[in-house]
């Protein structure tokens, strides 16, 4: 009862700091591309997700859906694209195109916990709405590559990309797939047989070994692409080459929901086991209309923060903490005032609550403080503090009126 729920975990200490650094890195770089942050509720009416594709595993098997006290059926968000689109429509933002959003927050899926995957997990992502041109696809991919580069992942992830075509192309391909897979109904897995009726494109993504053998000889989507779809994809690839963003075409890369079209992409790593996707996205031109909004284009991606943390080997900035060490009751009161004065000038201060000088210095070393500011009766009488550098061991008497300036200068890079 008093353990974390399976598939969840607590973040604290260095892991928490690295988690925040991933998010801050993504937040900073998306701002350079003109994206504004949006925060949506962690739960929505069930229909925001469930009406959009019951053939998706996320929707049909993995959502946390519950009835609240008012009788409404609500779903904890399993992803953030649909909530962002809902927010754009319900807040009347679709008159201000293009819309460029960044988000960071918790998502919830009832999935088998494994390396880098939890039932409550954090994602960062972007949505670019109202841009139908291939340049929209290129911008969000370039933005993703920029963030991964900043996190030190260049050369350790591969961009896989495919086109899902337009609706005309998908319908033609769907008919060809159904015709092909019906010849193998006795060999397909149970899951693929269900997909054959609802969404045959998902069979291409099957992890079942027998299914994969059958898929090898399946019709190739490229043969069914309309001229418009081919041109869109070629423009995307040419632009990626201009930006020197390497890619690998994966014709079996698909999306399970009908509103996805044209470009689909994933950044893949071989360092995370079977679940190697680090960041995934694509174009969803049909989603706004499906959610009873205007017929707008959309393209975006999402990345799991935990997976980025596992891969990136982040190094944290060295702490510049100051430990105040008061000696005696009078010094305790003076230290309380001094600590607040220093904090208000941007200096991180730890004020131990009890203990003699030896214990407080041990605590300062354990916290990796750079300075110990020792304050005793003699120092108070002289209006000074004894500043001890905990790296070099050197001590200097500093007038209290100059202490903040001294510490700010000493901690600045030379």
Element containing residue 101 per DSSP (H, E): strand 99-108
Task: Give the burial class of 180: count Cβ atoms within 10 A of its Cβ; 0-12 exposed, 13-18 middle, 19 or more buried.
Answer: middle
Flag whether 135 is marked binding.
no
Flag whether 123 is marked binding.
yes
Flag whether 156 is marked binding.
no
Please say whether the dihedral angle defined by the alpha carbons of residues 130, 132, 133 and 135, taken in this order, is positive or negative.
Answer: positive
Flag whether 35 is marked binding.
no
Q: How many angstroms separate the CA atoms of 322 and 388, rounded?
A: 10
Flag whether 25 is marked binding.
no
Query: In 10 A of CB 209, how many CB atoms?
Result: 8
| Region of residue 241 (left: phi > 0; alpha: psi -120 to 50; beta: else) | alpha
* Closest to 84 (Cα-Cα) out of 60, 100, 68, 64: 100
Contact call for residues 178 and 200 (beta carbons, < 8 A) = yes
Q: How many angstroms separate the CA atoms of 62 and 52, rounded?
A: 14
Q: How many angstroms separate the CA atoms of 408 and 268, rounded?
A: 43
Please state whether beta strands 65-67 and 73-76 pair in parallel, antiparallel, or not at all (unpaired).
Answer: antiparallel
Flag whether 260 is marked binding.
yes
Contact call for residues 253 and 262 (beta carbons, < 8 A) = no
Q: How many angstroms separate the CA atoms of 128 and 35, rounded?
A: 9
Contact call for residues 375 and 326 (beta carbons, < 8 A) = yes
Contact call for residues 55 and 199 (beta carbons, < 8 A) = yes
Flag whether 79 is marked binding.
yes
Residues annotated within a binding site: 79-81, 109, 123, 127, 255, 259-260
Residues annotated within a binding site for L-histidine: 79-81, 109, 123, 127, 255, 259-260
């Amino acid at each position: 009862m008093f353990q974390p729920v399976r598939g969840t975990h607590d973040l604290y200490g260095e892991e928490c700091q690295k988690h925040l650094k991933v998010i801050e890195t993504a937040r900073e770089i998306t701002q350079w591309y003109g994206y504004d942050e949006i925060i949506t509720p962690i739960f929505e009416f069930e229909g925001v997700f469930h009406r959009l594709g019951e053939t998706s595993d996320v929707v049909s098997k993995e959502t946390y859906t519950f009835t609240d006290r008012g009788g409404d059926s609500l779903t904890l968000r399993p992803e953030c694209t649909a909530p962002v689109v809902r927010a754009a429509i319900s807040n009347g933002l679709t008159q201000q195109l293009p819309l460029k959003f960044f988000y960071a927050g918790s998502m919830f899926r009832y999935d088998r916990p494994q390396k880098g995957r939890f039932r409550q997990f954090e994602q960062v992502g972007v949505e670019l709405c109202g841009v139908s041109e291939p340049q929209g696809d290129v911008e969000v991919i370039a933005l993703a590559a920029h963030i991964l580069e900043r996190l030190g992942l260049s050369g350790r992830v591969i961009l896989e990309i495919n086109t899902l075509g337009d609706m005309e192309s998908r319908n033609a391909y769907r008919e060809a797939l159904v015709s092909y897979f019906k010849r193998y109904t006795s060999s397909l897995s149970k899951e693929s047989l269900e997909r054959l009726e609802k969404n045959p494109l998902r069979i291409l993504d099957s992890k079942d070994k027998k299914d994969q053998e059958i898929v090898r000889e399946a019709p190739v989507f490229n043969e069914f692409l309309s001229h418009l779809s081919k041109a869109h994809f070629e423009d995307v690839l040419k632009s990626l080459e201009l930006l020197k963003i390497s890619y690998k075409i994966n014709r079996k890369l698909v999306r399970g929901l009908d509103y996805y079209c044209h470009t689909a992409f994933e950044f893949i790593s071989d360092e995370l086991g079977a679940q190697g996707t680090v960041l995934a996205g694509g174009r969803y031109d049909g989603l706004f209309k499906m959610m009873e909004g205007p017929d707008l284009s959309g393209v975006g991606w999402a990345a799991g923060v935990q997976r980025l943390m596992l891969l990136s080997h982040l190094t944290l900035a060295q702490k510049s903490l100051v430990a105040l060490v008061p000696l005696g009751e009078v010094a305790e009161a003076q230290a309380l005032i001094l600590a607040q004065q220093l904090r208000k000038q941007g200096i991180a201060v730890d004020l131990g609550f009890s203990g003699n000088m030896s214990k407080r210095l041990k605590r300062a070393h354990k916290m990796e403080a750079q300075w110990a500011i020792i304050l005793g009766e003699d120092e108070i009488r002289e209006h000074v503090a004894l500043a001890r550098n905990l790296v070099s061991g050197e001590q200097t008497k500093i007038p209290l009126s100059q202490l903040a300036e001294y510490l700010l200068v000493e901690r600045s890079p030379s």
